Amino acid sequence: MDGMSIAGTAPVGQTVDRYVIYDDGAAGHLQVLDGTEPVLMRPGRFVTEEEYGARVLELREQTARYIAGLTAEDDARQAADYAALLAAGVAEESARRMAGYQGEGRP
C-alpha cells in the first residue's frame, strides 16, 4: 500500500503489515504506520508473514473438518428421519420433503 489516507486529506505516511497470533489461536493481520508499534487489545504475539499464513491455513482446515462433520450429522439425521417416515407409512415424496432427505433411493 502506498500510503494511508482518508478521502479529502493528505496521506499520513507509509503503512507496513504486521501479523499476530492471539493466545486464543486466532490470527490477525494489521496495517500500521511505519515506525509505530501497534498495541494489541488482547493477549497475543507478533509473528512472521509465514507463521501467520500457516496459522490461517490451519484454521481453514479446521473449519472445513468441522463443516464436514456437521454435514455428515445432518445427512445421517435426514436419512434416519426419512426411513422412520417411510416405516410409518408416509408417501416417499412427502417423507423426502419432511425429512429434507436428498439421497438416492432408500437409506
> 58 in a domain, yes or no?
yes
Task: Round to whole Å and give the CA distance between 102 and 81.
Answer: 12
35, 58: one domain: no
38, 67: one domain: no
Q: What is the pLDDT of residue 106?
A: 72
Q: What is the pLDDT of residue 1?
A: 46
Could you read off the pLDDT tens digit of each residue along the chain, which spans 107 residues?
Answer: 455 556 666 557 888 999 999 999 999 999 999 888 899 999 999 999 999 999 999 999 999 999 999 999 999 999 999 999 999 999 999 999 999 998 887 77
Q: What is the pLDDT of residue 44?
A: 97
Rounded to the nearest 5°, which phi and psi values hold at 29? -125, 120
Give me the DSSP letters along 42-71.
SSEEEE-HHHHHHHHHHHHHHHHHHHHHHH
Global model pTM greater than 0.85: no
Its domain, for residue 17, covers 1-47
54, 16: one domain: no
70, 83: one domain: yes
